[in-house]
Structure 1
Amino acid sequence: MADKPGNQTPNTPDVSETELRGMTVDELRDKAKEAGIGSTSTMKKDELVRALAEAGGGRGGADAEGEKATRRTGGGEGAGPDGGRIRTGSGTSDSLKYSQEVTSPEDEPEREGRSLVTTHHEVIRKWAEERNGVPATVPGTEHGDSLGVLRIDFGGDSDTLREVSWDEWFATFDERRLNFIYQEQRSDGRQSTFFQLENPEREDA
């Protein structure tokens, strides 16, 4: 049966399903993320269209996203100033462009070994703690009163790293507008400790 023109979803007068159905799956997934809809990687096109229509098609997405982020993290605490979204700039790398954006602890990798990227504090802290990692910095690389190069120490007693608090670590992470590129699992399914901190303006991490 042919699709009827216009909006077929009740109580969403400003959303055109016809417009949504004309988009590609990747475009729909991007729009769904903007609207705060999670688990989009496993959704088919019809499911994405329906979810977007019910969410208002992403219009007013900031309010909807903020409300959902609040529910997920308890008052919005844990997401960070950018709500987990990546930071871009003139030096944005290809590795960032081709990584899957994670904006919630509920997001899952599309496949094993997938490169992921986030600025979400809770996601980063959970990932590190699951691997017995602690926030750290490299002594001797300080910037005035600010921490030096940021690292995560998986060894515990490293002479080349100094443990710091998560509050200090994240304050510096946000001040430098860093992105956290990482893996949950290697391509063979084993747990991965790979991560990389990247500044989209190509400044020191």
Structure 2
Amino acid sequence: MTEIDLALSVALGVALAAASGFRVFVPLLVMSAAANWGYVSPGAGFDWLATLPALLMLAVAAAIEVVAFYVPDLDNLLDALAAPAAVIAGIVVAAAAMTDVSPMLKWTLAIIAGGGAAAMTQGATTFVRAHSTMLTAGLGNAAVATGELAGATVLSIVALAAPLIALALTALLALAAFRLFRRRGKGGPDDTGGRPSPR
């Protein structure tokens, strides 16, 4: 494997992992569909992704997940459950995407970069949904769910078509999430309605 092939493989895995933070099953579904159509070849041990039963199972799971996030109150509960699931899915899809990579390097990158990317996007979406629930009494959560679905789908497709571009988008998402969390940590306008805190 050349250095370029390795970079593309890692970029694909990390971008798909980041998409798992938006929706757990969508990136796996997209990769399974691509594998079934012969567009990609999953790494060793992940041949099951290229099977029709896996494609059908992931399609059903993705559909249930997508619909569930449009149910009021259930969406916030799912956010708590989705956090560990997103990290696991991110690790799995990252490892599956990294072909012809030594097992030690593959799993190290999958756990650190893949799991980290999934945790980053999941944390950001949880933060946004919590604020939407607080500010709109949950009425704006459907828009958040639609944005998450679009993010998971678009990022997954771009990852397959142009892994390096998808990796750049993932880096931008990481920067946005970092600024969002830092602003929250400093107690920005969201905490005080834009007014100075009393001393």
TM-score between the two structures when normalised by the length of structure 2: 0.28
More strand by proportion, 1 or 2? 1
TM-score between the two structures when normalised by the length of structure 1: 0.28
Q: Which has the higher contact order (CA 8 A, sep 6+)?
A: 2
Structure of greater Rg: 1
More helix by proportion, 1 or 2? 2
